[in-house]
Amino acid sequence: MKMARHCTECGHTLPDNAQFCTNCGKKIGEEIRQESASQEVIPQPPASRISPERQESRKTFRIKKRVYIPILAAVIVLITLFYVGKSLTNPERTVDAFEKAVGDEDVASLVKLIHTNEQSKVNESQVKAMLALFKKEPQVYTSVIHSLEIAAKEKDSQSVNSSLYYLKAKGKKFLIYDKYQITTQALHPKVKTNLQGMEVGIQGLKMSEKASKASSESPQTVVLDAVIPGIYTVYGKSDHLNMAKQLSVRSAQASADFSGVYIPIHSNIMNAELYVNNEATGKKISEIGEWGPFKKDDEPSFYAVYTVNGKSIQTDRVDISNDDSDYDSVTLESAEYDGIDLIFAEKEDSSEFYDLDPNDNQANTELLETYFDGYFSDLASAVNYGEADEFGDYFETGSAFYKEQTDAVKEFYDKGIEESINNYDINRVSAGEDGTYTVNVSENWSETIPKEDDEFSYEDKDFSIETNYKVKEVAPGEIKIVGGELVKRTTD
């Protein structure tokens, strides 16, 4: 018969597979007493060997042991987790991750690492612009890393705000640890332009604005969406001019000027056509006032051509240069403020150069007053002295009107009639669609006429006439009278 097992501590009968005494908690070893099934086992009373006080003390210890061991283990686990969490949230790890990502040009990781003070989204194009800045200006990157490392050691999120990129505590991780992130100031580049409707933006970024309020007299400054510090290509597109500029954005003052340069054009023949860079603009100088826009580094050239009846004259060319040492040219800056002068030497050197402008009757009147001064003087000489050659120059040679006028003065001369102009007034000048101008003139004449019955006796008469002369520019600076109509005549 199998022998029963008993606790060596208290004598309590044990189950076959027991490892601890169910009565006193004693661990069961190999020293268990086994008795023959035929023998009667009489366990010793616990009290006969262990005092009640000791037994109670041991029992209390065993209970405390069961309670304190799990608590101690939990404390050890919590302490371990605390230091593991502290290590994981150490700001130096954030700085190291940033430095490694920059070194590896790991754009995707940097997109996750970098945040802005405006909580604006950082994308890959902005990160590439930041890397371009660090590559072009390595001292900037060195300064950023130095500042970040100092802040990480001091765990101070405010001490490096003057740096382009700085550490900032943002919320908690695991409820107890400060969470640090790489932060930068969101910057808004500015673009100034005087080109209305110009679309301005940053290449690679889906953001653009229109300068809807811009004008040549009142430029507009357009503020672009937020970006992180970096080197960007800023662009401007308009109907007249496209511009692009690489811009280092490191502060809120970063800006680009995409204003076009307009050059005032002056000439002594406002009806001449403007040529720019050897190409006809199709515009008369009187129509434009100024020409542009040009980029600030452009070097255009200008001249003007005046054409009448297929005959042309041309000004000297004015070249624009950004080279201050080129004394034969004009700088773009001085041209912008002072304008350029396209001077026709033919008119500058002659007092009898007559160019008519259909849009400037006042100027036409002034020119024609000089012209008719000569005309009436030569008319009187032709009548009085028979000198019709100069008088005939006022008409188109061979025309019917030329013959009519020269025949009339020859007839007056043959009759001995003498005439002198007292005064005249040009009342108005109007341009016709056929290129002629109608000049309304009031004339006061004195006339001496021989008497028919006494060749040595004369009769003086004063008379006034109003005539509409038709004049036409037949060549640059050359005017001819191509027709005339008597409006009225009165005799005193």
Sequence-ordered list of residues with C-beta below 8 angstroms from that of 362, at least 6 positions apart, any chain: none
Measured distance CA(272)–CA(267) in Å, rounded: 8
226-236, pLDDT tens digit by residue? 999 999 999 99
Q: How far is CA 34 from CA 15, 18, 94, 464, in A?
A: 12, 14, 68, 168
Q: Quick one: which of 231, 304, 317, 300 has its CA closest to 261? A: 300
What's the burial of 164, exposed, middle or buried (CB within 10 Å: 0-12/13-18/19+)? Answer: buried
pLDDT at res. 13:
80
Q: Quick one: which of 117, 133, 111 has its CA closest to 166? A: 117
Q: What's domain 361-491's architecture? A: Roll (3.10)
Sort strands 114-116 and 177-184 into parallel, antiparallel or unpaired. parallel
Q: How many other C-beta atoms lie within 10 A of the C-beta of residue 54?
A: 10
pLDDT at res. 33:
45
Q: Quick one: which of 326, 267, 269 has its CA closest to 299? A: 326
pLDDT at res. 108:
96
pLDDT at res. 36:
40
pLDDT at res. 38:
44
Token pair recorded at residue 395: 């008409």
Q: Which CATH number does the domain 190-257 belong to among 3.30.70, 2.60.40, 1.20.1640, 3.40.1130? A: 2.60.40
Mean pLDDT by 10 residues, the chain (492 residues): 70 77 73 45 51 68 70 68 53 88 95 92 95 95 90 61 77 60 92 95 90 92 95 94 94 94 94 96 93 92 96 96 76 92 94 89 92 94 90 92 92 91 94 93 92 78 94 95 94 80
Q: What beta strand segments (E) does 117-176 contain?
A: 165-173
pLDDT at res. 453:
73
pLDDT at res. 59:
67
Going by the DSSP 8-state scheme, the letter that residue 329 receives in this structure is S
Sheet containing 177-184: order of strands: 114-116, 177-184, 165-173
Token pair recorded at residue 194: 């005087």
Give the DSSP H/E element, type plus range, for residue 181: strand 177-184
Measured distance CA(287)–CA(291) in Å, rounded: 10
Cis peptide, bond prior to residue 46, ω within 30 of zero: no
How does DSSP assign 27-76, residue by residue? BP-TT-EE--TTSPP-PPPHHHHS-HHHHHHHHHHHHHHHHHHHHHHHHH
Q: Quick one: which of 247, 258, 286, 8 has its CA closest to 129? A: 247
